Amino acid sequence: MSRRKTTEWAGESLEALQGRWDRGSVILYGKVDSTNEAARDLAEDGAPAGTVVLCREQTAGRGRAGHEWHSPRDAGVYLSMVLRPADLSHPGMISILGGLGVVERLDAHFRGLAPRLKWPNDLIAGGLKVGGVLAEASWSESRPRYLVVGVGINVRPLGSDTPAEVRDRATAIDSVIGETASLVEVADCVISGLETWLPHAPASLEGDLLTRVDRYDWLRDRRARLILPGAEDGHAGTCVGIAPDGALLFRPDRGALRRVSDGVVDPWS
């Protein structure tokens, strides 16, 4: 589809947003297929680290494992950032570190939101999914060429046109805090959050950083069913934390503690 650029987003001009975020590389779209796809194209053309892509509406927004991200017009923050890390030896930590930075900023800014991380890339508020992080890298042999990190956050209450399977599992910032949040202030939190850890991501989660991840780990001590890639049946057990390399620690009801680097976790209410 054609990508329709605009010079305004959430009532702010392009120039105002460039000044607000202290960068000239802000690209705004009225409607786009996916901000991650647009950011990847820009990165291929040499866009600098810190380039921000925002849109009012996505027609093909994506989540993890190719799932669709419902992105109605002016109802959320749909944002991707281009990063150019010198090293990307632990890609499993990118979503965790990006998500941690974002939830810490949201937690500090929006009273009553109390956001949390759900391994590996979901953002939770009020016990339901409020957002997600999607990281995609391009490689040249063993070195990263660039990294694109997309964040989608529901801000306005979910409308009647939202698919039922989404409404049952998702919420929005406004619905949790009981007032109308500023889209621009949510974007502030996303941008500063992504730039907290990702430009110079540590090799592992250690010390205070691991403590901070643990503080926001929504799955910790929750009963859940783990479904591993390619499997139809799940394993019942308890999530017990996140390992220093970003893997989920899962204790099945039968068997030894597992380190899970890929899979689907469905917590029981």
**Confidence (pLDDT) at 239:** 98
Q: Which residue pairs from 18-26 have beta carbons closer than 8 angstroms and sit at least 24 positions apart in sequence?
A: 20/184, 20/188, 21/52, 21/188, 21/191, 23/50, 23/51, 23/52, 25/50, 25/51, 25/52, 25/82, 26/51, 26/52, 26/54
- CA-based nearest residue to 75, from 162, 3, 168, 190: 162
Residues 24-54 have pLDDT tens digits of 999 999 999 999 999 999 999 999 999 999 9
Ramachandran region of residue 241, left (φ > 0), alpha (ψ -120 to 50) or beta?
Answer: left
Q: How far apart are the C-alpha atoms of 105 and 5, rounded to whole Å?
A: 28
- CA-based nearest residue to 83, from 19, 143, 147: 147
**Confidence (pLDDT) at 88:** 83
Within 10 angstroms of residue 112's Cβ, the number of other Cβ atoms is 11
**First and final CA of the chain: distance in angstroms?**
40
Q: Which residues of the chain have pLDDT under 50?
A: none
Helix, strand or coil, per DSSP, at residue 136: strand
Going along the chain from its start, the domains and CATH numbers come out as 4-216 (3.30.930.10), 223-267 (2.30.30.100)
**Confidence (pLDDT) at 141:** 81
- CA-based nearest residue to 147, from 195, 82, 79: 82
**Confidence (pLDDT) at 1:** 56
Q: How far apart are the C-alpha atoms of 24 and 17, rounded to whole Å?
A: 9
